[in-house]
Amino acid sequence: MIKIYHYKQCSKSCAALDFLKQHALDLHVQEYLDEVPSKVELIEILLKLELKPLALIRKNEALFLEKFQHLHLTDEQWINVMLQNPILIERPIIIKDGKAVIGRPLERVIELFT
């Protein structure tokens, strides 16, 4: 199964979803603003991406710039910030065969299939 953490108002996320619909037989779409990942799920995503929590945050997002850009938080605290404010999570995230990528640019998604 392939899973995409999707945001329907993001053009990059929609492009990744279109690609996956054409190439994936078993696809699960999770609109992560409506269905926020659990803390365990977010930690698993970070492990698969091999990223620290701060690296998964959208630093150009208005909410980040207004409330969080000057903060120095622990990894645990950044995870909690993302769970409370999922709009800050980079998108789209695609998981296939235990591997994960942030689907920007689309070539990263394509690489999962090669």
Could you give the percent of the chain with pLDDT greater than 70? 100
pTM of the model: 0.93
Mean pLDDT value across the chain: 96
Q: Which residues contact 114 (CB under 8 A, 6 or more apart)?
A: none
Annotated catalytic residue within 3, 9, 10, 88: 10
Going from N- to C-terminal start, the domains of the chain cover: 2-111
pLDDT digits (tens, 9 = 90+) for 39-75: 999 999 999 999 999 999 999 999 999 999 999 999 9
Q: Can you give the pLDDT at residue 4?
A: 97
Question: Hey, what CATH topology would domain 2-111 get?
Answer: Glutaredoxin (3.40.30)
Q: Can you give the pLDDT at residue 113?
A: 84
29 sits in which H/E element? strand 27-31
Active site residue 10: yes
